[in-house]
A and B are shown apart, each in its own frame.
Chain A
Amino acid sequence: MRKLLQYLCTILLFCSIMLIPGSRCHAYNYASHPDTDYTVTVMDNALLLDQTEEKDLLQNMLPIAEHGHVLLLTSDRTDTDCETEAATLCDQLFGDENAVVFLINIGIREIYVYARGDMSDSITSGDARSIADNVYRYASKEDYFTCADRAFTQINSLLKGDSIAQPMKYICNALLAMILALLLGFGWVCINAYRYRPGQHLLLNRSSKHVKASVTNAEYTDTHFLTEAELCSEGPYLALYLLRVLLSFFGGGGGFSGSGSTGGGSSRSSGGGHKF
């Protein structure tokens, strides 16, 4: 009886430990392509998907493994950006091998598509941005399964050589083209109007002129040492002076990094994301 009670307490203790928040042990779903040995992994760290959805996604992702490793990662980290997170995990899991990652980060509320190696030739940064732009609305509605599913479908299309819908690209280009065309047309009107504005030399009659002059005497009188104020009145010196002040104000650091730039490591890579 005492031994039975000990066994029951051990089981209860084990189960209670399992119930403690933060100490949950989540098993990652995993598969590998039969021909290439590339792996397909779903790492649902943020617990956005259930088991059925993960299994469905694995099936959808498997054809992509013909080209490289495939990873679906959900995360709630706020201490890093998506590109760094995806690149770091790729380094840890796959080294320099071909890989594609779809990241859903609900901490900073961003989805990101990251491709490495040969896959980055088919999935460019522009394509990655387009895919993220096409599926972000599902993530906004918390339909993460559909979001990931549609993303991998489009990734698969690109890897097969098919094209994907890029409404963001065409809308942006159309609007910018229209604005530029309006300005260029107006510029043409201004140029034609100004074609008939004379320069100073055209204003007047080509008058007859007679010029005869020579230097009869030139005498050195004095040497004058220039002050700081006098130097600043000279254009180039003033420009250099202002530039020195500007550089000292901003310092040497700071910089902007845009989404879609090539990531870390020695492999070539591409990526693009979208907030949701």
Chain B
Amino acid sequence: MYECPSCAAALRYDIDKQMLSCDHCGNTLDPYAFQKDKDAEEHTDYEVTIFRCPQCGGELISDATTAATFCSYCGASTILDNRISKERRPKSIIPFKQNTDQCKAAYQKMLKNAVFAPDDMKNPEHIEKFRGIYMPYWLYSYEYKGNLDLRGAVRETRGGEPVKNLYDVKLDVDVSYEDIAYDASSSFPDHVSAAIGPFHNEDCKPFTPAFLSGFYADTSDVADWVYETDAEKYFRLNCANDLFENTTMGVYGVGNYYGCSVPASINPTSRRTELGLFPVWFLSYRNKDRIAYAVMNGQTGKMTGQLPVDIKKYLKISLLLAMPIFLLLCLLPTMVPAQLLTMSAFLAVFCGIVVNVQMSHAIAQDRSTEDKGEQYAASDNPRPTDQMILFNHFSPQKKWNFSVIAVIILFLTLLPISFFPAQSIRKILDCPQILLFPAALIVICGIICLIQSGQKKKHAYLPVTYTRGIWEGFGSDLLAKSPVLIKPLLALIISLVILIWNPVDDSWYYLGAVACMLGICFSLIDMMKQYNRLTTRKLPQLGRRGGDENA
């Protein structure tokens, strides 16, 4: 606890004044003017460090990564100096600039667009529960100074024949990037920390513990090399873009020559890694045993939050939305039941594709396969070699998105069938070979997608034990997705059976369309339940008993 020199009351960092401030006498102090060797008293018993509150002597409850917290007994803000020792001391800090009122306003603005969010989340009492936490970030700096030898190729037509003219291009380069930031806490999801970025390093100040007074703070539990490849990749790719913008090398076709990649050629001559503390506001919303949270950038005010969806609200709003759509459809030419069934089947396929993509994201998030920090904390595998990292990230071959191509071919094939179902089905039954060509293209695209997916997994950063084979990954994902995907698939099968059978009675077509509607509806509900499960999780910092609640 930092004490006011005038009245000995607790000092807190005031966001509006950007100074240490005493709530009792109004005294303000420069954080750098206040030096203190240690705040919390430390005792080491049985190889365990116990922190005691400097004000009341109570034992402080904290996690291994806590750098600043509040005493559960008296509410005093306390800094755990042992956690920010020489080895783990941050180089810089961006102090909070957004206060709680601005936080609440941003949250309410975000809720306005969250039409399907539960009404409980809009309760004003709820909005009071914001916590300011300084989160650790790794700051990577790179520099390239020297000559760069590249090859270029310019395409032209000579005598009707396409040719490439080859060039050797030399550049003199002096480029540096400072403070490329990645979050250094395994409990702070990568996608959330990225969503509230960027922070502006113009407000960066040299670190002093006084800034932490009145807030929570965490230290890093992720090694600096975890994000090194991503940071270096960012530097190389953006450096290459800067070179294209600032020089005339594009004229010589640099970047078009197969085997010469500009990013791969930019090997940094200097590298530096430091730790920084950045301000983040966290809001928690508790529903039974799950917590959802919203997060705001404490400097810029950018808010993010994966708010859960109230499924009953979703169904009611969908019903309301159906009315204007119905009126709009009544203005269009009359549809026959066979056309309705074909379009419903088409929409069921579309729903299946969308849900498949969403489920892939959800599974990745659930398994944290895309969160390098969490993967690192859960494993103790060795750091991959530099050679492997460089080769895999800067392959010069351009890859087509074959999944998109497959979807486009499927769409173009189904489109005429949806408008002229009876004639199309007859033509297909008379001459099934019509479908062979698009089917073959789709299968080829699918095989290429699987191969690319396996290659991506193989060459990913994650150590070997986290890499799955193509079929193993596909199989396990399919099992996870099958309860959701089975519904539109069944609807599609029912529709195809009815279309091929081609009954006279319209009731069969209506039945098929209803099956499609139910398949889509239940599939989407399952998807939203999965989404709700992922948006609600326990945030370790907010599971603590905060002294500011009890003081």
Contact = CB atoms under 8 A, between A and B. Distances in A.
Given A181-B318, A205-B181, A257-B423, A213 B246 contact: yes
Interface in A184-228: 184-186, 188-190, 192-193, 195-198, 202-226
Q: Which interface class (under 10, 10 to 19, 20 to 34, 35 or more) fits A?
A: 35 or more
Nearest to B316: A185
Nearest to B164: A224
Contact of B504 (A129, A140, A173, A212): A140
B197 A182 contact: no
Contacts of B502: 275
B343 interface: yes
A235 interface: yes
B501 interface: no
Nearest to B412: A246
B482 interface: no
A130 interface: yes
Interface stretch (A11-19, A21-29, A68-76, A164-172): A164-172
Interface in B280-327: 304-307, 309, 314, 317-319, 321-323, 325-326
Interface stretch (B22-30, B50-58, B128-136, B509-517): B509-517
Contact of B334 (A126, A140, A175, A189): A126
B539 interface: no
Contacts of B400: 235
B514 A175 contact: yes
A183 interface: yes
A69 to B, nearest CB: 25
Contacts of B251: 218
Interface string B98-139: 000000000000000111100000000000000000000101
A256 B175 contact: no
A207 B347 contact: no
A179 interface: yes
A256 B416 contact: yes
Sorted nearest first, the 8 A-B pairs with minimum C-beta distance are A126-B334, A205-B181, A181-B322, A177-B326, A196-B304, A256-B420, A173-B329, A177-B325
Interface of A: 109, 125-127, 129-130, 133, 136, 140, 166, 168-186, 188-190, 192-193, 195-198, 202-226, 231, 235, 242, 246, 249-250, 254, 256-260, 272, 275-276
Given A178-B318, A198-B195, 11 more contacts: A166-B334, A186-B314, A205-B197, A206-B198, A207-B177, A212-B173, A213-B174, A221-B168, A224-B166, A225-B161, A225-B162
14 contacts: A127-B334, A129-B336, A171-B510, A178-B319, A196-B304, A197-B195, A202-B198, A204-B182, A204-B234, A212-B175, A222-B165, A223-B164, A256-B420, A256-B423
